[in-house]
């Protein structure tokens, strides 16, 4: 496997767990906090956390436009939970800062409050026959998706994994499990974008 350098946006949220998972999969992983960091990586993960806080920090720290620019030149981006919200073009009832890169409409805290967090087994053809154990914490879901968006999994008829070109989004936290298939899938997307 060709080693790729993947950044994890480290402003707030579960960035350390993503970094550890990427490293266990053989990727080089760095914590991203500056525009120079963004420009040094082959791909980027936007972790879970509080999407309005992360969005505001991306603006305040000058990262939003840099990430959009790298995305326009083909850099793959994977958003988990809050990261999925920040990738969406539309967020129900919110004008918060976002990247707006995926043609999806997301509903924040769609499955309920923290006490209504849950786990579920997802069947995702791209990841083989073994179900993916998904941890949903104050999770969003995708309410609607454009024609170029490929739906990879649903829970209770709500979209919870989707891909659009170089963008991948999950409503849950794969970094909180021992299952590394989604991170390996994203590493493969990054390698493919580099022609490796």
Residue 81 designated active-site: yes
Residue 73 designated active-site: no
Helices marked H in 3-162 — which ranges? 15-24, 35-39, 51-60, 64-72, 82-87
Two tokens, residue 121: 């087994």
Two tokens, residue 26: 């053989």
Q: Which of 81, 95, 130, 192 is catalytic?
A: 81
Helices marked H in 26-100 — which ranges? 35-39, 51-60, 64-72, 82-87
Q: List 141's β-bridge partners, or say none.
A: 107
Q: Are 1 and 38 in contact (CB under 8 A)?
A: no
Rounded CA-CA distance 130/122 in Å is: 9
Q: From the CB of residue 118, how many other CB atoms can be counted at a distance below 10 Å? A: 13
Residue 175 designated active-site: yes
Q: Which of 17, 18, 175, 183 is catalytic?
A: 175
Catalogue the active-site residues. 81, 173, 175
């Amino acid at each position: 496997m060709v080693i790729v350098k993947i950044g994890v946006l480290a402003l707030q949220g579960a960035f350390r767990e993503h970094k550890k998972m990427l490293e266990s999969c053989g990727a080089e992983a760095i914590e991203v906090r500056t525009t120079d960091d963004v420009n040094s990586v082959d791909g980027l993960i936007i972790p879970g956390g509080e999407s309005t806080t992360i969005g505001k920090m991306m603006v305040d720290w000058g990262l939003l436009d840099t990430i959009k620019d790298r995305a326009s030149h083909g850099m793959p981006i994977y958003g988990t939970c809050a990261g999925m919200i920040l990738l969406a073009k539309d967020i129900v009832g919110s004008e918060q800062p976002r990247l707006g890169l995926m043609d999806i409409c997301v509903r924040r805290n769609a499955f309920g409050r923290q006490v209504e967090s849950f786990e579920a087994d997802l069947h995702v053809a791209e990841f083989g026959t073994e179900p993916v154990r998904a941890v949903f914490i104050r999770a969003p879901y995708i309410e609607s998706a454009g024609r170029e968006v490929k739906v990879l999994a649903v829970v209770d008829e709500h979209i919870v994994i989707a891909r659009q070109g170089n963008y991948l989004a999950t409503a849950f936290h794969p970094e909180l499990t021992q299952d590394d298939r989604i991170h390996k899938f994203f590493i493969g997307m990054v390698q493919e974008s580099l022609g490796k």
